[in-house]
Amino acid sequence: MNLSQAYQDFARACNGRILVMDGNFGSQLSLQMPKEKDFRGKKFADHPVDLLGDDAVLCVTAPDRVKKVHRAYLEAGADIIRTNTGGANAFGQRPFCLEDMAYEIAKAGAAVACEALAEYDDDLRNCRTGKIGQVVERKFVAGCMGIASAGAGSSVGFHELVDAFVDQARGLLDGGADILLLDGADDALCVKAALFAIDKVCNERGELVPIMVSALVSERGGRLLAGQTAEALWYSVSSFPVFCIGFEGAGETQDVFPYLKGMGTAPVRMSVMETVDLQKIGQHDNDAAKECAKRIWRYSDGGLVSVIGGSRGTSPETVRFMVKALKGSRTRRIPARRYNMLLSGLDPMNISHEGPCVVIGGNGGAQILTVNLDGDGDVVNAGQTVRPVMVQSAKWDVLLTGMESVQGKGIARSISLSEGEETFLSKAAEIRKRGFAVVCFAEDEKGPAETFERVSEIVERMYRLLVGKLNFLAEDIVFEPNMKYDDEVVSDPVNLLFKVCRYVKANLPYAHVLGDAALLGLDFDDEEIKGGLYSVFLHHAKKSGLDFIVADEEAFPAYEEIPYRLSCLLEDFVLSRTPDAREKLQTFVADRY
C-alpha cells in the first residue's frame, strides 16, 4: 500500500515545525445560534424527528455556517482544520433517525472544509487576504471521527462499530479529507475498531492516509474513561500504522504534560489538545495569556509534540495566540524504534529482549493472563484486567471473537503452516488487524516438527513470510516449538527448546520463543518438587534466551535456595543428563515420606 500525497506532505510539514490545529467547533457554531429550521434545511424539512443539536447535519443543510467557522480558524493561522463530522456515523445519527445518512454527512463535512481551504488559499494568492508575494503554506483537512459518540465497546458489537466507522471513513476520504482523526477516544476497543475500519478503506483505495488518535484523559491518574492509562492506549494501537497519537485533558485546567513526557520513547508523532480560557485571553488578560504561553512553550521546549490544537472553548482568537507563541518552536524528533514487544491491559507492559522470562498463566502470579476459550475462559472480563491477556482457541472463529472483546493488546495463540502459506498469512493479517501479537506453532504441511532441523526450518520460513510479505512487526512474533512430552514425540524437549531459543536469537532478529511447562514433562504431584523444576528450568531458560513460559504455579523458589542434592537431581532431570533422572527424582520424593 502506497503513502498518499497528503501523508507525504503532512510528514514533511511536521518535520519543519509544530503545526497548529483549530479549536472547538461546537462552541463556535453555537455562537451563530442556529435554529431548528437551519438543522432541517430543505432536505429534511419533513423529517419526523427534531434535529436541533445535530451539529454534523449542518454540513448538509447549512454548509455556509460551517464554512464560516472553518474560515475563522484559517485566518487565525491554523495549519489543520477539523471537519464538523464527529457525530457523522451511525451511532451519532441514531438519536436523530439519520443513520442511513452518515456517509453523506461525512462526505459533505469534508467537502465543506476543503472548499473553505481552497477559497482561503485563493484569496491569499490574489492578495485579498494576504500580502503581496506571500507563500501559501500547505494546510490540511482532518476528517474528524468522534470515537466517544460510538458508545462503550462492551455494549456495541465489534463489527457493528467497524461497519459504522467504514461508512464514516469512506465519506470523509471521498469528500477530500487529508487526514483521519479519531477524536475524543475514551475506550481503546472503539479505537481498534475504527483502525480496523480505516485499514479496510485504505486497502480499498490502495493508499495509506495519515491517522491521528486523540484520547480524552481524566484527572484520575491519567486514565481514559474505560480505565486504561495513556501509555497503555499507545501500546494497544502500536500494531497499527498510527501517524500521531495525542491527548486532551478532561478537566478544565488539567495539564497532560506528564503523560506526554512518559511516552517519550514512542516512535510516532505526538499531539496535545490544549484547554485554555478563550474569554480571558480575548479580553487581553495578561496573566491568563502568560499562563497559556508557558504551557505551550513547555511542550515545545521539551520536544514533545508535532501538533498542538485547541480543546473546549478554544476560539479563533486563542488559536491566533497559539500560532504566535509557537513561532520558531522545534518539532518532536521521532526516536528510533526499540523493537520491544508492547502489550497492555489497563496498564502497559514493555517486554525487552534483555528482560527476564515472562510467566503466562491463569493465576494471580502470572504477568500475562491466559484465557482458554475452548474451556471456561471468560475473555470479556479478562479483557478488562490490569494485565495483558493471551487468548487461545483451536477454533479460528472463536479466537477472532475473543480478540474482538479485548481493549488492550494481547497475544493470540496460535497459528501454523499446517494449512499452507496462504492461509497462514491470511490468519496472521486478521490477528494484526485486531491489534494482537501472534504465537506461531512449529508445524507445516507435513505436520509438527520433531527435530531441531525441522523446527529451525519452519520458524525461519514463518518469520520470512510474516516480516517479508506481511510487514508484521518482528517483535510481535512468538514461536512455540512442538514439545509434546506425554506421548514422547520429543525425547528431550527442554534441551531442544533451549537450542531453538539460541537459533532464533541468532538468526531471527527481535522474534520471541514460548515454552509450555505442561508439555515439557515438568509436572510432579509433589508441589515442592514441581516448584523446584520450574525454578531450575527458568534459571537455564534465561541463559538460552527464552522469552515466555506458560505455567500455573503461583511462585517458584529461588534457584539459589534449593538444597544442593535436590538441585543436582532436578538439573539432571530438566537437562536430561542421565537416562534414569526421573526415577532418581521419584525415589528422592518417596524417601522423604
**Residue 236 cell numbers, joined:** 494497544
Would you say residue 514 lies in a domain? yes
Same domain, 377 and 305: no
Crossing angle of the two packed helices 286-301 and 316-325, in degrees rounded to 10: 50
CATH number (domain holding residue 369): 3.20.20.20
Would you say residue 571 lies in a domain? no
Same domain, 395 and 419: yes
What are the pLDDT digits (tens) for 138-156?
999 999 999 875 654 446 8
What are the pLDDT digits (tens) for 408-423?
999 999 899 999 999 9
Same domain, 256 and 353: no
Same domain, 314 and 177: yes
Same domain, 417 and 315: no
Would you say residue 51 lies in a domain? yes
pLDDT value at 284 more than 80: no
Same domain, 497 and 536: yes
Would you say residue 296 lies in a domain? yes
Would you say residue 134 lies in a domain? yes
For 338-352, b/e burial (b = at least 16 CB within 10 A) is: eebbbbbbbbbbebe
Average pLDDT over residues 419-445: 97
The rounded mean pLDDT for the chain is 89
Last residue of a domain, one of 325, 360, 389: 325
Same domain, 395 and 260: no
Residues 6+ apart with CB under 8 A from 542: 356, 357
Same domain, 430 and 546: yes
The SS3 of residue 413 is: strand
Q: Would you say 173 and 143 are in contact if contact means Cβ atoms under 8 Å apart?
A: yes
Same domain, 350 and 321: no
Q: Would you say 248 and 272 are in contact if contact means Cβ atoms under 8 Å apart?
A: yes
pTM of the model: 0.93
> So what's the pLDDT on residue 420?
97
Looking at 270-330, list the stretches that DSSP marks H as alpha helix, in order from N- to C-terminal side.
278-282, 286-301, 316-325
Residues 6+ apart with CB under 8 A from 506: none
Crossing angle of the two packed helices 564-574 and 527-544, in degrees rounded to 10: 60
Give 372's strand partners.
Answer: 392
Looking at 404-518, list the stretches that DSSP marks H as alpha helix, in order from N- to C-terminal side.
421-433, 452-464, 493-507
Same domain, 296 and 414: no
Would you say residue 582 lies in a domain? no
- For the chain, what percent of residues have pLDDT higher than 90? 61
What are the pLDDT digits (tens) for 101-123?
999 999 999 999 999 999 999 88
Looking at 76-101, list the stretches that DSSP marks H as alpha helix, in order from N- to C-terminal side.
90-93
What separation in angstroms does the CA of 142 have from each of 81, 111, 176, 207, 396?
Answer: 6, 11, 10, 16, 37
Count: domains in the chain: 2
CATH number (domain holding residue 67): 3.20.20.330
> So what's the pLDDT on residue 132?
62
Question: What residues make up the domain containing 135?
Answer: 2-325
What are the pLDDT digits (tens) for 51-90?
999 999 999 999 999 999 999 999 999 999 999 999 999 9
Same domain, 12 and 64: yes
Q: What is the DSSP string of 49-82?
A: S--TT-GGGHHHH-HHHHHHHHHHHHHTT-SEEE
Same domain, 370 and 455: yes
What are the pLDDT digits (tens) for 200-217?
999 999 999 999 999 988
Would you say residue 77 lies in a domain? yes
Instruction: Provide the terminal-to-terminal Cα distance of the chain, rounded to the nearest Å.
Output: 67
